[in-house]
Amino acid sequence: MNKMYAALPGIVWEVPSALHVETLVVGMKVRVKYGPDKFEDATIQKVNVDETFDIVFDDGNFGSRKNVPLNEIRIQNVSGV
């Protein structure tokens, strides 16, 4: 699936800024850091009051993460297409 996303033209995954926090909602598809410089597809499961996020990886092999900080999340930016 990651290769499919990478192959799609015009899709850019960017680091969300503090301004994006309000736009990150439960059920939103994101990419989340998994390893030193690898990101995997995931879904936001919970938005925490401390502006971290609980996520579940879309591939069942990776499980989930709690309290993921904003700088470890990538959101899709299609505005530049």
Domain residue ranges in the chain: 2-77
> What is the Cα–Cα distance from 46 to 9, expressed in whole angstroms?
30
Q: Output the pLDDT for position 12.
A: 63
Could you tell me where the beta strands, DSSP code E, fall in the chain?
Answer: 12-14, 29-33, 39-47, 53-57, 64-68, 73-77
CATH number belonging to the domain at 2-77, selected among 3.20.20.20, 2.30.30.140, 3.40.50.300, 3.30.565.10 = 2.30.30.140
Q: Output the pLDDT for position 80.
A: 47
> The whole model's pTM is what?
0.72
Cβ(38)–Cβ(16) under 8 Å?
A: no
Q: Output the pLDDT for position 75.
A: 86
Q: Output the pLDDT for position 9.
A: 53
For 31, list phi and psi in degrees, rounded to 5.
-120, 140
Q: What is the pLDDT along the chain (81 residues), one digit of tens a residue?
A: 555 555 555 556 666 655 556 678 899 999 999 888 899 999 999 999 998 999 999 987 889 999 999 999 998 775 544
